Structure formats: structure tokens, C-alpha cells
Amino acid sequence: MLENIGTEGYMTISKPVAEVALVLDWILADNRSPVVAEIGTGVGATTKTIVEKLDNRGRLLIFDYQDRVDGLTADFRDLGYSNIEPFGNTRLRFDSYNWNLAKLALKARETGPCLDFAFLDGAHTFTVDAPATLVLKELVKPGGYLLLDDLLWTMATSPTMKNIAADLYTSEQMETPHIRMICELFMANDPAFQRVTEGISTSRALYRKKA
Ligand SMILES: C[S@@+](CC[C@H](N)C(=O)[O-])C[C@H]1O[C@@H](n2cnc3c(N)ncnc32)[C@H](O)[C@@H]1O
């Protein structure tokens, strides 16, 4: 999977997200073995940053389609990294990483929140990412971080989605940034979370759960 980074067809998902490295540095300053989750791995551009920064300490939980997470786990294992836990789902129409996140959250109700840092960068649609956000809010530990990517992304301006989605969504839904709506609805008014803007670009939103 990693061999796809920088190759034709994968250029838009070949650059690591800088804010992930920044937040990880903040966390690693106090906690050398954090638990991190990347939801939506692409071909592993940002996963690679996380893996290298953790350097076999803590745990990295990755969520995506089964072939993607299995491919990345094997690639990193071959490079000597063994702290990656794959959570794959099928490509059935209504399946998504939500189901694996939901199962994890049910377990966390018994054992407590487990994530120091969650990076949500998956479907970017309300249908998939509204439940993902609600579940991640539970999974993040007090003092932990939740970073949402593509705050301003719309299906109407996406070269890959605009044709596929035209039969599935209204024009209002095509033109509205779903992640921004999710942030307004579930994050901005939640007193348990504080928005962090230092070092974060306008296309992303970072929240810290109050300790
Ligand atoms: C923008 S890419 C992630 C890029 C990656 N975080 C990075 O920084 O390089 C979005 C990812 O979400 C995954 N995704 C989208 N919808 C999904 C679904 N329903 N189930 C599982 N994965 C999904 C895609 O397979 C893709 O790998």
C-alpha cells in the first residue's frame, strides 16, 4: 500500500497532514506511549508520520476498508513496526468504519475512554461521519484530542465525488461542507470540548476534551 504514495492517481492523498505531527508532538512531550487512531488512512501518507513518531511505542489503531488496513499493517510490519492494529470493514454500501468504532465504544463503556488522539479523515459525509464523530467523542480520553479533516470540502467541488454523488444527494447536500456542519452541530456547543486553533489550518478543526 505504501508504494502508492506519490504515484499517479494517489497524489491528492500523498502528503501527510502537518497538524497530525504537531498534535502528536504535544502529546509525546507528556506521554511517550499514547493511543492514536486514524480513521481513513488512504495509502498511508499520514499513517507513516504517526508510525515513525510513535516508533513502536503506544498503539496505532487504523480504520479503513479491509484491504487498505491489512496492506498498511503488513507494510509497516515489514519495516519493523508492530504496534499497529487494523480495523477493516467491507465495501458493502452501508458498511463503514462506524461499525468498528461503535463496537470499540461499547467496550470503552466498561473500560473507559482509550484514545489520546483521534484523526478523522474518512468519507467526509454527514451520513458516515456524524455517527463517527459522536462515537469518537466518547472514545477520546479527558485531555485527549480529536482532529477533523476537510472542514470545507464539498461533494460539488470534488472531481471524484461530483458525478458519483449527483444521484445520491440533493444539490444543497452536494454544496454544503458536511464536516463543518458536524462541527457546528456536535462540537462547537459541547462544553466538554474546547476548540484549539494554534497551528491549525482553516481546513481542519481540532478539539481538546477537557480534563
Ligand atoms: C482522504 S483519504 C484519507 C487520507 C489519509 N488520512 C492521509 O492523511 O493520507 C479517505 C479515506 O477514507 C476511506 N473511507 C471513505 N469511506 C469509507 C468507508 N465507508 N469505510 C471505510 N473507509 C472509508 C477511504 O478508503 C480513504 O482511504
pLDDT tens across 40-79, in order?
999 999 999 999 999 999 999 999 999 999 999 999 999 9
| Ligand 1, atom 14, residue with closest C-alpha | 122
Residue nearest to atom 19 of ligand 1 (CA): 96
Whether pLDDT at 166 is above 90: no
Domain 2-209 -> CATH class: alpha beta
Q: Which three cell numbers stand for residue 145?
A: 484530542
- 98 C-beta closer than 6 A to ligand 1: no
- 3-state SS, residue 180: helix
State residue 47's pLDDT score: 98
Domain ranges of the chain: 2-209
| Residue 39: half-sphere exposure toward Cβ, Cα within 13 Å | 28
DSSP SS3 for 5: coil
How far from chain centre, in Å, is Cα 121?
4
pLDDT at position 160: 86
How far is C-alpha 42 from the geometric centre of its chain's CA atoms? 10
Q: What is the tens place of the pLDDT at every residue in 107-152?
A: 999 999 999 999 999 999 999 999 999 999 999 999 999 999 999 9
Which residue CA neighbors atom 4 of ligand 1 most closely? 42
Quote the CA–CA distance of 64 and 90 in Å, as a whole number.
Answer: 9
Give the DSSP per-residue string, 65-87. Answer: EHHHHHHHHHHHHHTT---EEEE
Contacts of 29 (CB under 8 A, 6+ apart): none
Count of positions (residues) in the chain: 211
**Residue in 11, 36, 39, 65 to alter for ligand 1 test, most ligand atoms within 8 A of Cβ:** 65
The finding on whether 19 has its CB within 6 A of some atom of ligand 1 is no
CA distances from 160 to 1, 154, 163 (A): 20, 11, 7
Place of cell 507513516: 48
Q: Where are the beta strands (DSSP E) in 102-148?
A: 115-120, 140-148
CB-ligand 1 contact for 177 (6 Å cutoff): no
13, 14, 20, best to mutate for ligand 1 pocket (most atoms within 8 Å of CB): 13
**Is ligand 1 within 6 A of the CB of residue 1?**
no
pTM of the model as a whole? 0.98
